[in-house]
Amino acid sequence: MKVWNKKSFWAGILLLALLSAAAIRIIRRELAGQDLPALLRQADLRLLALCLLCMAVYAMCDAWNIRRCLRLSGDRISPFQAARYAFAGFFFSSVTPSSTGGQPAQLYYMGRDGIPLSHGAFSLLCALLSYQVISVVYGVIGAFFSPGRLFSLPGRLSWLFLVGFCINLLLVFFLFSILFSRKLAAFFASVGIRMLGRFPRFSSSRGSILRFFASYRRVARLMKQHPDVFFRMLLTTGVQILLYHSIPFLCCRALGCAGLRWFPCVCTQALLFISVSSLPFPGAAGITEYGYTLFYASLIPSGIIGSALLLSRCFSFVFPLVFSGLGLLLPYPRRSGGGHPTAHRL
């Protein structure tokens, strides 16, 4: 599949410009009316530096998992390319509703590098499955141990968090089915073909879908032959999300909340994250702030909860959004290896 041409280049530039404008709008909304410099001067900069380190490792883990799966299918990429795919995933997921733009953007950048579409889709599905499984595991733990109970939250919109929690559970089941069940994957492919058949202009895509499906199944079999790879992905994702969920705790401690304990705070953040990540808001903006005040009400003193929220969103969302956007603009070495499976050792 030829993705990279002159027309797609300018289309990509235009799309990136539009989404950059959306990112700026989201950031302005996040920081509206806030004196962030004054807040940073009050905080413990050493703990805030740890927040930056957590997000740097978060991005590295994401890149590492994508690279693992691509190497499994025979596509050898450089660490710079893997980091670029991770940046694309974070940036485009942050500025699109329900994080729907991340994977298509990553496939676009992979296509530019000559990676087959089926290989790229397989690697991203495995990475997404690993991320969803660990997120749900942490979320379920949070549902039992977090002081902010999911089923007893106050407020008129509190039911949204329960809906988001259930959506993530269903998504994990769907991803397991499509990756590890041949019959269900074939069923979804046939549904896609039938839906396209209703539109005459897309009827010629039937052959492409069948070829993509056949190639995808060949690559998917590699994962069944190497279950240790997915296990290592789960371990990497476990560290990745644990660091991400630790940022609210570090921000609160940086503001002098010495009595806050790490485990309840991480459980609360895990529950909040799993409850908002699938809701149709770009970067979960707005609903995350609302949920923060509900979930953390029993943990953080009311006098600093607003400041803690601002710092947490800056270090877990705003700053990474800026850095990932800049990372997409940086030049990087082109891949030198071929895009066809020749070796499966990791």
Task: For 283-335, give the secondary structure using H, E and C.
Answer: HHCCHHHHHHHHHCCCCCCCCCHHHHHHHHHHHHHHHHHHHHHHHHHCCCCCC
Confidence class for position 3, pLDDT limits 50, 70, 90: very low
Query: Percentages helix, strand, coil for the chain, rounded to the nearest 5?
Result: 75, 0, 25
Spatial distance between the Cα atoms of 4 and 108, rounded to a whole number of angstroms: 8
Confidence check: pLDDT of 341 > 60: no
pLDDT tens digits, 256-307: 888 888 998 998 888 888 877 765 554 445 566 666 777 777 788 877 888 8
Spatial distance between the Cα atoms of 26 and 229, rounded to a whole number of angstroms: 37
What global pTM score does this model have?
A: 0.77
pLDDT over 90, % of the chain: 15
Q: Return the pLDDT at 244.
A: 93
Which H or E run includes 83? helix 79-94
* Six token digits for residue 295: 């979930």
Spatial distance between the Cα atoms of 185 and 168, rounded to a whole number of angstroms: 19
Q: Return the pLDDT at 336.
A: 45
Q: At 159, is the secondary structure helix, strand, or coil?
A: helix
pLDDT tens digits, 21-60: 655 565 555 555 566 778 888 888 999 999 999 999 999 9
> Rounded mean pLDDT of 319-327?
84
Q: How far is CA 155 from CA 111, 147, 150, 152, in A?
A: 45, 17, 12, 10
Residues 6 or more apart in contact with residue 56 via CB below 8 angstroms: none
Spatial distance between the Cα atoms of 68 and 65, rounded to a whole number of angstroms: 5
Q: Return the pLDDT at 342.
A: 42
Confidence class for position 238, pLDDT limits 50, 70, 90: very high
The number of angstroms, rounded, from the C-alpha of 222 to the middle of its chain's C-alpha atoms is 24
Q: Return the pLDDT at 47.
A: 93
Q: Return the pLDDT at 142.
A: 82
pLDDT over 70, % of the chain: 67
Q: Return the pLDDT at 288.
A: 66
Spatial distance between the Cα atoms of 48 and 198, rounded to a whole number of angstroms: 54
For the chain, the average pLDDT equals 76
Spatial distance between the Cα atoms of 3 and 128, rounded to a whole number of angstroms: 22
Spatial distance between the Cα atoms of 263 and 146, rounded to a whole number of angstroms: 9
pLDDT tens digits, 169-215: 887 777 777 667 777 777 777 776 777 666 655 555 566 666 666 66
